[in-house]
Amino acid sequence: MKTKNSSLQRGKTSKNDEVYTQMIDIEKEVANYRQHFKDKVVYCNCDDPRTSNFFLYFLSQFKTLGLKKLIAVGYNKEGKGLYSEYDSKWDNNKVPDIKEIQVIEIEGDGDFRSAECISVMEEADIVVTHPPLSLFEEYVQQLVALDKKFLIIGGLSFLKYKEIFNLIKNNQVWAGISKRHMFFIGENEYVSAVNACWFTNLAHTKRNEERTLYKTYTPEEYPTYDNYNAIEVDKVTDIPVNYDGVMGVPITYLIGHNPKQFEIVKFRKGDDDKDLSVNNKCPYFRILIKKTQ
């Protein structure tokens, strides 16, 4: 099987959406949220129940996690979508083989935006999946509108989409724990996504960890922006320990953002609504933050 690299950007065609998450990456992330799953209905709404590692994982861990029900719906662009559910009542809590799980066709094609799939989501407590990259913003907006808990995979670059950023700023969504490098299974190849990221609104321990700061502020090392009263911090690890004003930091800061330590002030732009600049040069995408008072 061939391997290629990808930055996991927004999908441009449906083919870009057809990548599948490996079991090891699901296991690694879900392990941090086990306390959230007891007696819950989990919905994998972008997953063919016959092949999805999300469905297979929760099926195998059904009793361990103490789930109430597991549901999956797979999209079929050429026909009817596929539906499956499992609640353990019919097999005395034994872990079933995937071949024993009934898979049925639904009326529509399984698009998560359809009324049929939304009605299924209303039953769910937690949604866990790898949604189509090309529809990521719309997908997250639907989850938030329906007030659902979720744990989903996207690209690190999605953090700079305005709607996603606003949700993060308002503490409605935050980054998960595993990050940056995952392998996804595409058609006859592994796609190495060096900028992958989990997005969630489930609490986890890393969210409350304070970032260790060791650098000391000096005007020479931390220049002020031309168009905003804030200093430029080139690396997240260089956030100064003794500066209380506003700072511009790389987007990777959002991985591990602790709202008790820093507040997010603004998105990318200066007072003139242009990109932040230092000596008329614009650094790569910046988030403006300051210490929480």
Residues 168-217 have pLDDT tens digits of 999 999 999 876 545 455 454 444 444 788 999 999 988 888 999 999 99
- State whether 186 and 265 are in the same domain: no
Q: For residue 31, give the CATH number of its domain.
A: 3.40.50
- State whether 188 and 240 are in the same domain: no
Residue 115 within any structural domain of the chain:
yes
Q: Give the domain range for residue 8.
A: 2-205
Give the pLDDT of residue 133: 85
Q: Which of 155, 125, 162 is nearest to 143 (CA)?
A: 125
Give the pLDDT of residue 84: 93
Low-confidence ranges of the chain (pLDDT < 70): 1-19, 89-96, 179-194
Give the pLDDT of residue 22: 86
Number of domains in the chain: 2
Residue 220 within any structural domain of the chain:
no
Residue that finishes a domain, picked among 205, 223, 246: 205
Residue 59 within any structural domain of the chain:
yes
Residue 223 within any structural domain of the chain:
no
Cα(202)–Cα(200) distance, rounded to whole angstroms? 5
Give the pLDDT of residue 91: 60
Q: Which two tokens stand for residue 71?
A: 């549901």
Give the pLDDT of residue 2: 40
- State whether 152 and 246 are in the same domain: no
Which secondary structure element, helix H or strand E, spans residue 166, and what is its range? helix 162-169
How many beta carbons lie within 10 A of that of residue 41, not counting itself? 19
Residue 218 within any structural domain of the chain:
no
Q: Which of 114, 172, 113 is nearest to 144 (CA)?
A: 172
Which secondary structure element, helix H or strand E, spans residue 189, and what is its range? strand 189-193
- State whether 83 and 158 are in the same domain: yes
Give the pLDDT of residue 180: 52
